[in-house]
Structure 1
Amino acid sequence: MSSGVLLYCKSKVYIHPTNRTSENVPGFLIVYKKLSTDPDSNSIITWCREDAFQTSPSSRSNNKKNILSQLLEADLEFAAKYQPTSTSTKNSYPTIRIDTSQLLLCSDWQIFISSVYSIQFRVPSSWWFGSIVINSKAKNIDDNIPVLFFHDDVCPSTKRIQKKMMMENFDPFNKDQDLYWGGDDFKQFLTTICDLQSVNNASSDDASSDILSSKNNARGNNIYLVNPTLEDLRNFKSNIQNLDKKPASPTSKNKSTGVYDSLNKQKWTILGKIADYTAKLTTPSYVPNLLSSYSPVLEKFLNDKYVNNLLKSSPQLQQASDDFESARVYLAKWALNVKQEAEKYRNVYENLSNDMDNMVTDEEIHVALERSHPLTLAKWESMFDEQGRLNVTVHETKDFIFHGGCENNEVRRQVWLFLLGVYPWDSSKDEREQLLKSLESIYFSSYKNLWFGDQVPSDMTKEHWKDEVFKIDKDVKRNDRHLNIYKHNTETGKLVNSDDQEMDSEVDDSNWVIINPHLNTLKSILMSYNVYNPDLGYCQGMTDLLSPIYYILQDEVLSFWAFVNFMDRMERNFLTDQSGIKEQMLTLAELTQLMLPDLMKHLTECDSSNLFFCFRMILVWFKRDFQDEQIWKIWEIFWTDYYSSQFQLFFMLAILQKNSLPVINNLKSFDDILKYFNDLKDLDWEDLMVRAELLFIKFQKIVAFVDGQNSLISDAPANPNTTGTGTGAEANIPIEDKLTKLSLHDPKKEFIISDRLRTLLSKRIIIQREKKSF
């Protein structure tokens, strides 16, 4: 007997070998898992026909429970545990021990979850049973997997769930307004064991997305990718969109049929609602008044030339919009949205283009703009094998994070520990548990216990330690007090009475004592870090860096070590001689000169070429320039080092690029520029991140271009009249002009990309320590 665990079972799932109803074959859709120590083992989907169990050896054995009866009981047991999708977890489903050898004997086919590429869920209708189509990653396997039909009218578990939902007054319709059917709970179950991503989910709320979604649903294209890579999601979405752009047939005279059908359906839906209202209302003027209320909206949207051209492009569209005025509103909003999206893509491209605009391709722009696939908890868990070891490349994982971020704080709580180096990427679950115990022991024995209880660390004087504690206490008291866990200075961290509220308002009074447990934890971590790194000590701004980490992790030991590793790269921002931050400012200045020469020329004329106005943003990684959730997303992208360990400089460059025209056209002095950038509010971080990525790609290609040109120059015969990189007046020529001259006019003059700029191409974290003071 081979033992395993039955994870899911659904009875009365048929295959239809022929068109004859009498030849339909009933069976069980089963998901099970073998009990194995093999870390690569994973869940298996199989289908077993009912009559196979009736002739199997186990059914004749008096010493074994009939496996057919066991499956029938399991089907009902799973139905009893069924919960609405929003509350379902892996623990929502019972695990039942089963003889997997019998399943193997009775199954027609089997496929590992890891081998499934996609599953199409085709909802039932008045003419067809609901069905699923399983597509494998290996083409030869697809030939053996038939379409599976859910005969809900005879399935005991489905009937029980439908009855339960009706009795408990649950809405029997899902979010797509489809009646519950057997495929729904199979899909729900799959979300608990793998990452199931719909390719039909609209990533925005605009009307165009609604049209695309309605067309896909009308075709029954409820396709879900199983544990997809980011490349799968990008490619599949592109293919679906391209497919929907094609005419219905080569002979079709009207290429807007799909849009027309959607508008026509929308039109009758609205007309139906108006009819319901008019049946109840006695005032004849109600409907005309309702129609006239759309006039301001129409005036706003239909004055647009692009919208008018689209409305006139098809008689069918014009007819649909003329039948009911709100249909014109719907179409106008959709058309304007398409225009705005097109302009968004075009504007990003045009803003980045210069005489080397062909260096940024349309595909690179598309990848940078595509940020609709955040890393979900299901996807994150699917990236690990049975031993809790990453089963995909670190690059693929970081690609997800860089181009989509983490979906929520539950995911961040796990991901940040890897990004910040607390856990190695190649560690197993057991290794991480052992590492955590070790880190906890070291934290208390080597750092916290050295100062806890009013002790003074042995390598510090009493006065010095007292001064450090004072600075930490002062900054912690005013740290992110708007966040819920820091807001109330009570023993629980929660508001108890009005007196506590009054105490909260006295943040300017330095005499109050911290009793909020989370603020005290921040203070403990910073004091322990002071012991860990006494040469650096505490510097203003460190609280800004620690606060988000602790807010997400809410664990003292993990937060301490995450902060330690974060400070490895940030320490150079706080050096006494400011050499680290100065080096970054010089690098940013050179980068701006190369990428934005017109802006740099104007800043030089305004005595701002040192980019002093960027100092605060770089110092604490934009912590005070964005909302909290935005900062979490920005930082986790920076931490990936996906392109560069200094990607924050390209993000800063993106801010400069986006604001270059207002600065050049309106600001004429150092003070004006400083005030302008200090007062920047409501920055669009996603737009800036797209710009930063494209700017890096362009920079990378400029370096490659220059290196290629220089290699040609070095191979050419020496010319005694050539002066190398140029001096004197040549040094004042903008770099971009030099590149143009290099490529078009004087191919023998060599231009050198500085070592400082070349460090931007490296993913290696730059660590610069404070020198010991004697």
Structure 2
Amino acid sequence: MTSYQERVKQFDKILYSDGKIDLKSLKEKSYRGIPEGNGRRSLTWRILLGYLPLDRDSWSTVVEQKRALYKQFVDEIIVQNPEANSPVIEDHPLNPNPNSNWQNFFKDNEVLLQIDKDVRRLYPDISFFSQPCEFPNQIVGSGIDRLHHRVNQSQLEVQSSSRKGFGPSLLYSAPKKKGGEDYAPLTKGDEAHWEVVERILFIYAKLNPGQGYVQGMNEIIGPIYYVFATDSNTEWREHAEADCFFCFTNLMSDIRDFFIKTLDDSPTGIRMLMVRLDKMLESADSAVHNVLQTQGIKMPYFAFRWLSLMLSQEFSLPDVLSLWDALLTDDTRCDLLMDVCIAMLKLIRNELLTNDFATNMKLLQNYPGIDIMAILEQAKSSKT
């Protein structure tokens, strides 16, 4: 038996044996990368993201309740659309009342504009998100307008709902579709994967009005949805949308401070995390730290995107999945992430020490294709 086969055997024993999941062992095995196939990654992420309890016997009850709850969200927020279906005679587009149906319409439209733009550019190098999903939501074909059809771009002035403070230029490399074209229309009754992600994000925004949708959340949900929607297990794959919603919600509850500007200076705010990362770099590699300081390369220039998007834009999707196998084992959602960022800097230290400002900026904002396991090993060795 090869070492890989032995690792698969050990992983399956943890994941599929009777009794409760040994979470410590599952995390240890996941850090090295979850073996492909047999729905291992999909199931493990559901556990690591707090959707599935450790007691296997309760899984069927939990998923039945959660999926029914998500259906209720879809019915109330997408199908019934109370704001649109309860017109008030005295209401009008200039009504300043925050409870005005028109005000709600404008707010929803603004959020949808941003979500619609962002989900269409998810991993443009692969065709997955533009392809029709195998199990379209029940509302497709029911006469209910799809969300992207509700976006009224001709009558509203677009106001970006991106996170203010550092700006979208630091979040995105803004990839474009080849040739600049939009996604091709699908056959009637089909819906693309990006439409499913759009619905999840809109429902999340409506249920979390204090935070709403912030540019970059699409990059957080993208890997989760991809893993669930490509599960080899048909039953899990069929409910990818509902399960993804709750896993994304759980993850966002852990990292929500990354996306709220008023919490930048809190211990878990993004600004303080960058200050902490800067101090970690100074301690771990003073030579690299000094070069960045001398050249005027500040942490927000690259680390804001690294941290807030959990490195989801720095690597290809397969590498992101392997990286998140490890990152999701960290309950803090940031300690291991920061160790990985330091490891990434260490692995390109020779280039950083010899390059000029422009070349270093390009290197940091377009990180080279270094093996993910090498990065994780570097992060692990630095802690021992």
Normalised TM-score (structure 2): 0.72
Match of 2:367 among 658, 680, 704: 680
Q: CA deviation at 1:596?
A: 1.0
- CA 1:574–1:661 in 2, change beyond 3 Å: closer, same or farther? same
Instruction: Tell me the equivalent position of 1:598.
Output: 287
- State the AA in 2 paired with 1:600: H
Equivalent runs, 1:700-715 vs 2, <5 Å: none
Q: CA deviation at 1:570?
A: 2.4
Instruction: Tell me the equivalent position of 1:300.
Output: none
Q: CA deviation at 1:399?
A: 0.9
Q: Deviations over 1:149-169 (max 9, x none)?
A: xxxxxxxxxxxxxxxxxxxxx
- CA 1:481–1:645 in 2, change beyond 3 Å: closer, same or farther? closer
- Partners of 1:432 and 1:656 lie apart in 2 by 41
- Partners of 1:484 and 1:409 lie apart in 2 by 23
Equivalent runs, 1:51-450 vs 2, <5 Å: 198=1, 201=2, 373=7, 378-382=12-16, 384-385=17-18, 388-390=19-21, 393-408=22-37, 410-425=39-54, 427-429=55-57, 431-445=58-72, 447-450=73-76
Q: CA deviation at 1:481?
A: 4.3
Instruction: Tell me the equivalent position of 1:31.
Output: none
Q: Deviations over 1:681-733 (max 9, x none)?
A: 31221111100011122xxxxxxxxxxxxxxxxxxxxxxxxxxxxxxxxxxxx
Contact conserved, 1:641 with 1:647, CA < 8 A, in 2? yes
Q: Verify: 1:564 aligned to 2:191, yes or no.
A: no
- Partners of 1:506 and 1:645 lie apart in 2 by 37
- State the AA in 1 paired with 2:255: M
- Partners of 1:474 and 1:491 lie apart in 2 by 23
Instruction: Tell me the equivalent position of 2:109.
Output: 466
- Partners of 1:516 and 1:549 lie apart in 2 by 18
Contact conserved, 2:200 with 2:245, CA < 8 A, in 1? yes
Contact conserved, 2:254 with 2:333, CA < 8 A, in 1? no
Instruction: Tell me the equivalent position of 1:533.
Output: 208
Q: CA deviation at 1:652?
A: 0.5
Q: Verify: 1:486 aligned to 2:114, yes or no.
A: no
- Partners of 1:477 and 1:691 lie apart in 2 by 35
Instruction: Tell me the equivalent position of 1:694.
Output: 381
- Partners of 1:374 and 1:581 lie apart in 2 by 37
Instruction: Tell me the equivalent position of 1:553.
Output: 228
Instruction: Tell me the equivalent position of 1:650.
Output: 339
Q: Deviations over 1:2-57 (max 9, x none)?
A: xxxxxxxxxxxxxxxxxxxxxxxxxxxxxxxxxxxxxxxxxxxxxxxxxxxxxxxx
Instruction: Tell me the equivalent position of 2:119.
Output: 476
Instruction: Tell me the equivalent position of 1:157.
Output: none
Q: Deviations over 1:118-169 (max 9, x none)?
A: xxxxxxxxxxxxxxxxxxxxxxxxxxxxxxxxxxxxxxxxxxxxxxxxxxxx
- State the AA in 2 paired with 1:678: Q
- CA 1:505–1:454 in 2, change beyond 3 Å: closer, same or farther? farther
- CA 1:467–1:437 in 2, change beyond 3 Å: closer, same or farther? same
- Partners of 1:376 and 1:538 lie apart in 2 by 40
Contact conserved, 1:419 with 1:636, CA < 8 A, in 2? no
Instruction: Tell me the equivalent position of 1:135.
Output: none
Q: With CA pairs under 8 Å and 6+ residues apart, which has the higher RCO, 1 or 2?
A: 2
Structure 1 gap segments, 5+ residues each: 1-197, 204-223, 225-232, 234-372, 494-503, 698-774
Q: CA deviation at 1:643?
A: 9.2
Q: Deviations over 1:261-318 (max 9, x none)?
A: xxxxxxxxxxxxxxxxxxxxxxxxxxxxxxxxxxxxxxxxxxxxxxxxxxxxxxxxxx
Identity of aligned residues (%): 20
Q: Deviations over 1:417-443 (max 9, x none)?
A: 100000122x232x1111112112222
Structure 2 gap segments, 5+ residues each: 85-98, 137-176, 230-239
- Partners of 1:483 and 1:510 lie apart in 2 by 12
- Partners of 1:525 and 1:585 lie apart in 2 by 29
- Partners of 2:327 and 2:309 lie apart in 1 by 13
- CA 1:470–1:666 in 2, change beyond 3 Å: closer, same or farther? closer
Determine which structure has the larger strand proportion and give its number: 1
Contact conserved, 1:474 with 1:510, CA < 8 A, in 2? no
- CA 1:416–1:516 in 2, change beyond 3 Å: closer, same or farther? same
- State the AA in 2 paired with 1:596: D
- CA 1:608–1:635 in 2, change beyond 3 Å: closer, same or farther? same
- Partners of 2:135 and 2:217 lie apart in 1 by 25
Equivalent runs, 1:452-463 vs 2, <5 Å: 452-453=78-79, 455=81, 461-463=104-106
Q: CA deviation at 1:558?
A: 0.6
- CA 1:593–1:377 in 2, change beyond 3 Å: closer, same or farther? closer
- Partners of 1:525 and 1:594 lie apart in 2 by 41
Instruction: Tell me the equivalent position of 1:575.
Output: 260
- Partners of 1:551 and 1:423 lie apart in 2 by 18
Instruction: Tell me the equivalent position of 1:613.
Output: 302
Per the alignment, in what secondary structure is the counterpart of residue 461 of structure 1?
Answer: helix
Contact conserved, 2:220 with 2:309, CA < 8 A, in 1? yes
- State the AA in 1 paired with 2:68: S
- CA 1:484–1:644 in 2, change beyond 3 Å: closer, same or farther? closer
Q: Deviations over 1:334-379 (max 9, x none)?
A: xxxxxxxxxxxxxxxxxxxxxxxxxxxxxxxxxxxxxxx3576633
Which of structure 1's runs of 4+ aligned residues deviate more than 3 A?
373-378, 406-409, 456-460, 481-485, 487-493, 504-515, 642-645
- CA 1:470–1:642 in 2, change beyond 3 Å: closer, same or farther? closer
Normalised TM-score (structure 1): 0.37
- CA 1:691–1:526 in 2, change beyond 3 Å: closer, same or farther? same
Q: CA deviation at 1:678?
A: 1.7
- Partners of 2:212 and 2:79 lie apart in 1 by 20
- Partners of 1:546 and 1:450 lie apart in 2 by 22
Q: Considering only aligned residues, what root-mean-square deviation do their CA atoms show, in Å?
A: 3.1
Question: Aligned residue pairs: how many?
Answer: 311
Q: CA deviation at 1:605?
A: 1.3
- Partners of 1:570 and 1:644 lie apart in 2 by 7
Q: CA deviation at 1:456?
A: 5.4
- Partners of 2:133 and 2:228 lie apart in 1 by 21
Contact conserved, 2:288 with 2:353, CA < 8 A, in 1? yes
- CA 1:548–1:376 in 2, change beyond 3 Å: closer, same or farther? farther
Q: CA deviation at 1:598?
A: 1.5
- CA 1:623–1:574 in 2, change beyond 3 Å: closer, same or farther? same
Q: CA deviation at 1:655?
A: 0.9
- Partners of 2:311 and 2:83 lie apart in 1 by 33
Q: CA deviation at 1:532?
A: 2.0
